[in-house]
Structure formats: structure tokens, C-alpha cells
Structure 1
Amino acid sequence: MERPLEQLRAALDSKIPVLVQTHDFPDHDAMGAAYALCELLLRLGYECSITYGGMIQSISLASMIDQLDIPLLAFEDAVSGPERQTIVVDGSPAAGTIKATAGRLVGVIDHHPSRKPMKCPFVDVRTQTGSCSAIIWSYWKEAGEEPDKTTATALLAGIQLDTDFLSRRVSAEDLNAHYDLFFKGNSKLAREVVRTALSLEQLPEIGRALMEFRVNGVFLLTEVHGDYSSELLSVLADFLLRLKEIQFVTVIEVSGGEYRLSARSRSHDIDAGEIIRRVLSGKGTGGGHPHMAGGFIKPNKYPGAERLLLDITNAAAEYRSENETDSQGN
């Protein structure tokens, strides 16, 4: 039986440059996984570059890219350049996290569930793994290669972000990868670049968001006004989920060309990724994990806070009903 890296290499043409593409608007896990996969492929003799769609919205991710000196190829240059074969990491067109690939899609490596079949030669989707970086670490182990300090640090940062420092959706693969990488990389730097970077100018908006929230049962939604980094949405969502009466939180930024949102769930029967995907259908795009999701709404499709909260509540009720029916049917 072929192992994942063997299968990936069988799908690749060694004479054509490889493009490792993250999900649009990448985070630390996507970037860490992309960098580590690219470094491994370079060692194995492939020509390789990293690209992404959208933009870097995270202050701390920009710091990570700068401090680790991660080379990136602009998406426009990747599209207009010579023929390339593309491997998507931490996302997929089928999951709706990538609008377009910059080259010919050859492989998908992800840990997000997909609602559509993958149409490419190589697919490695491990939904039980908390981070895509841990999956890429397993490729290094399969190859019998030891990552250098920079690569180990990038993978550590990715694992720590998506598992919230090993406190959320952690698999044995995440734990083994973290243990193996901890002393090989710069653990202090990995920790620092994942810590959220907020600024004093955001405090008034944080205060307003905490005062002007809306609640419907166990669901809470609040808006932030202004062009802020994605960390602000994530921090508020994580913080508000600490409320004992609340099981699902949505924070939406009502500003700019696309209204970004971040959602969190701590209920086993409310899948944040599926709920947000359903609610944003026809309004924008979104999805993610059962416990954590994100997305975008077109400004002219935004129904307002009250209506969006009601849509989320109704979608969750429908989702619960469907799963109860499925359980009874089985």
C-alpha cells in the first residue's frame, strides 16, 4: 500500500514546477503547512513556490512571514507565469475555501470536511486532525527527513494556532508532531507569532462590540465597525464563547468590500462550519470546522444583525433536526 507522500509524488511531474497554494486569506496553519511542504519538495528535487488568494489580514501572520523570511509568489504572477502543477493545502475548491487555483490542480491536502467530491489525482483529507501542519509533518517523517529550525518553527506555529495551543480538537497526530517539533524549532518565536496582535486603537470598538450584542437563545451575534485585522474577530468570538449561557458566537465586521465574520461553537450538535456555510449560501461564502468557522458576506447581501442571527438560529435548528433524523434512521 502506497503511503501519502509516495502517492503525491506519483501524481506529480518532476519536470514541471510545483505551486503550493493555501486557502484564500491564509492563517498561520495554512502558511506553516505550505512552507513546510514546499521545503520538503525542494529537498526531494522539485522546483517549488508558495502562493495564496486574497490577502494577509492577520497582523501576527504578517509578522511570522517576516520573521521566518517565508518567500511568497504573488497570485497574479503565479497565474500568468509558466505552467505549474498546484497542490492546495489547508483548503480546497470543493470546500469553498479557494475561489481559483493558480495552476493545474494536482493535489489537495486538508483537514476540513468537504461537501463535494474532489476532482484531482491526489487527495489527503484527515478531518480528525486538528491542524494541516501536523499532516505535513507526517510527510517529513515518511520521507525520513528532518526539518530545519525555520520549518519546524512554522509547523509549530500552525499546530498551535489551529489547536489553540493543544486545547482544541487535538488528535494524536497533532500531539506527536508538536512533541517532535518543539525542540527542533524556535518554540518561543512560534508562540509569540500566534499570540494575537491587537492595538490600543481597537479598544473602543471592542468595548462597543461587547455592549451592543444580540442574543437569541444560546446564540450571540455582535458587529464591529471599521477595517480591522482578522485577529479582532477571532479574539472577540473566543472571548464571548466563555459566557456560560452561550453556545454559538458570531462576530461580523460590517465594513469594506466584503463583510468578514468569525464563528465559534462549543455545542457538539451545532457544527459551526456547516451552519455558516448554509447561512452564507447566496450571500457570500464560508465554512470551517465544527467548532470554528469563518466567511464573507457581500455588503449588498447583508440582511442586518437581527436577521443574520435569526438565520443562524434557524439553520442550527434544521441541522439538529436532520442529524436527529439520521441517528434514528440508523
Structure 2
Amino acid sequence: DAGNNSLPAGQPVHLVIDHHPPKKELADVFWVDIRENYGASATILYEYLNSQEVSINTKLATSLFYAIKSETQDLGREWSKADREAYLRLLPLSNNQILYDIIHPQVSRNYFTTFYTAIKDARVYGEALVFNLHKVANPDLVSELADFLLRQQGVNYVLGMGWYDTTQILSMRSLNPEAKLGLVIQEMVAGIGTAGGHGMVAGGQVRGVAEDDQSQQDLEELLVERMFQALSLTKNPGESLI
């Protein structure tokens, strides 16, 4: 109900701690703490622990630090003063070897194949880039590739998608601090899915999507059309990235 999540429909929710704006009223939830000006939910959790003087062991500190680091891109994207303070306080408590293993893990050949698929499939429409990974073994790869392809020179917006277990996973990224991608992606999936996010980062899901090429093409065309309308951008024919 706040941001983008994979909680099953109808699942009771008793506690919400998030930094994404809620999509509906949460009056029935026992505990709600949503801080839209924060860059990471982990910062809120850290403040809870710190305020109660709870001892933070190395593994917990490392986990919280990495969450803030990855969510804010090392305090380079949508961070707040609270995020920076938590980041700097958790850093000396973290285990460098564990951090290294998380950030630089050994990966399978399929991981590199996914990068190849994204680069080969990507199309550039002026300042927007769109790619479809089709079937993915790990839905997190969609957001990772969206971050990666946002580095393309001249691109300010990226829409990535991938099919996982009958669900189309969507991820959006932007370099524009005023992009309001959370609202943009909600317009894009209106009537067909769920989504949420912040100004420069957003994600969504469209459930019950078929894996076949025609279904993928139809959904991609719809989402791209809606994206350009929501961003008030002029769509050009587009060209392959490579």
C-alpha cells in the first residue's frame, strides 16, 4: 500500500515502515511510519534502534549500511540529512569483507547473458531508453539493468521490464530530480497493475501477463506510449542502442 511491493492481495498488514508515498488510506494499519523525504527505509529502522539504545551488531550494521548505500547510490540520489547521518554512523560498524562480498559477488554466465539481452534489446527514444529482458531468473535484475543503462550519454529516463512467474516487473530510473517517477509509473499501469516510487526511482508490476512475444510486445507498446504521455515528451521512432 506504500510504494511498490509484492505482498499478496488481501494479505493483512499490521505495520508499515516506508519512505514511499502511500497509494491509499492506511487507517486500518496498527503502526504506520512513512517518511517521504527519506532516501531509504533502512534509515528509519536505524533511527528506531538508535533512539532505544539498541546495540547494533556487525551483521545488522552491515545490512543497514548496504541498504542505505544501494538505495541512495552512495548518497548521490534522493538522500536526506538523516540518511547521511545513518550512513556515516553505520560505516565504521560494518564489516568490509561482507560488504565486498555483497557488492562484488561471483555470478553465473546467465548474469552476463542478461546484460547482453538488455543491451541488445534496448531502444533509445531521444532522452528515454526502454529495454525488455523478457523471462528473468531474478526480478531484481530489472532494476539493476535500469541503473546500469541510465549511464548512457544523453539518456535521462529509463524504463526496464522483465517477465517473472506470470508477472511483468517494471523499473524506472531518471537523472531528473523533478521527474516524479512514482506518479508517472502509476499513470502507466493504471487499470492493469500496481506501482509506486519517488522522484527519480520507481517500480511496478503487471500480473497475469503471458510470456509469448506478442503479449510482451503489446504490453511494451502500451507502457511506452503511456510513459511518453505521462512525461509530456515527444516520442520519436527510436533506434537500437547498439
TM-score, scaled relative to structure 1: 0.61
Offset of 1:169 from its aligned partner?
A: 1.6
The answer as to whether partners of 2:46 and 2:64 remain within 8 angstroms in 1 is yes
Percentage identity across paired residues of the two chains: 28
Q: C-alpha distance in 2, partners of 1:102/1:212?
A: 36
Q: In terms of mean alpha carbon deviation, does 205-214 or 134-143 score higher?
A: 205-214
Match of 1:237 among 116, 122, 146: 146
Paired letter, 2:44: I
Offset of 1:131 from its aligned partner?
A: 0.9
Matched, 1:307 2:215: no
Match of 1:252 among 135, 144, 161: 161
Q: C-alpha root-mean-square deviation of aligned residues, in Å?
A: 2.5
Go from structure 1 to structure 2 and tell me whether the alpha carbon gap of 1:197 and 1:130 turns closer, same or farther (over 3 Å shift): farther
Q: Which residue of 2 aligns with 1:169?
A: 78
Match of 1:117 among 13, 25, 32: 25
Larger relative helix fraction:
1
Q: Which has the higher contact order (CA 8 A, sep 6+)?
A: 2
Deviations, residues 124-147 of structure 1 (Å, cap 9, x unaligned): 211111111111111122112221
Q: How many residues align?
A: 225
Offset of 1:237 from its aligned partner?
A: 0.9
Go from structure 1 to structure 2 and tell me whether the alpha carbon gap of 1:139 and 1:94 turns closer, same or farther (over 3 Å shift): closer
Q: Which runs of 5+ in 1 are unaligned?
A: 1-92, 319-330
Q: Which residue of 2 aligns with 1:13?
A: none
Offset of 1:307 from its aligned partner?
A: 3.0
Match of 1:193 among 80, 97, 102: 102
Go from structure 1 to structure 2 and tell me whether the alpha carbon gap of 1:104 and 1:257 turns closer, same or farther (over 3 Å shift): closer
Match of 2:16 among 96, 108, 120: 108
The answer as to whether partners of 1:279 and 1:311 remain within 8 angstroms in 2 is yes
Q: Which residue of 1 aligns with 2:239?
A: none
- 2:75 alignment partner, SS class: coil
Note the 1:78-227 alignment, pairs <5 A.
Answer: 93-95=1-3, 97=5, 98-100=7-9, 105=14, 107-119=15-27, 120-195=29-104, 198-227=107-136
The answer as to whether partners of 2:187 and 2:226 remain within 8 angstroms in 1 is no
Q: C-alpha distance in 2, partners of 1:197/1:295?
A: 28
Q: Which residue of 1 aligns with 2:181?
A: 272
Offset of 1:221 from its aligned partner?
A: 0.8
Q: Which runs of 5+ in 2 are unaligned?
A: 234-242
Q: C-alpha distance in 2, partners of 1:192/1:201?
A: 19
Offset of 1:165 from its aligned partner?
A: 2.5
Deviations, residues 81-102 of structure 1 (Å, cap 9, x unaligned): xxxxxxxxxxxx2546344575
Go from structure 1 to structure 2 and tell me whether the alpha carbon gap of 1:131 and 1:182 turns closer, same or farther (over 3 Å shift): same
TM-score, scaled relative to structure 2: 0.81
Q: Which residue of 1 aligns with 2:231?
A: 316
Q: Which has the larger radius of gyration?
A: 1
Q: Which residue of 1 aligns with 2:200?
A: 291
Go from structure 1 to structure 2 and tell me whether the alpha carbon gap of 1:96 and 1:178 turns closer, same or farther (over 3 Å shift): closer
Go from structure 1 to structure 2 and tell me whether the alpha carbon gap of 1:103 and 1:169 turns closer, same or farther (over 3 Å shift): same
The answer as to whether partners of 1:94 and 1:117 remain within 8 angstroms in 2 is no
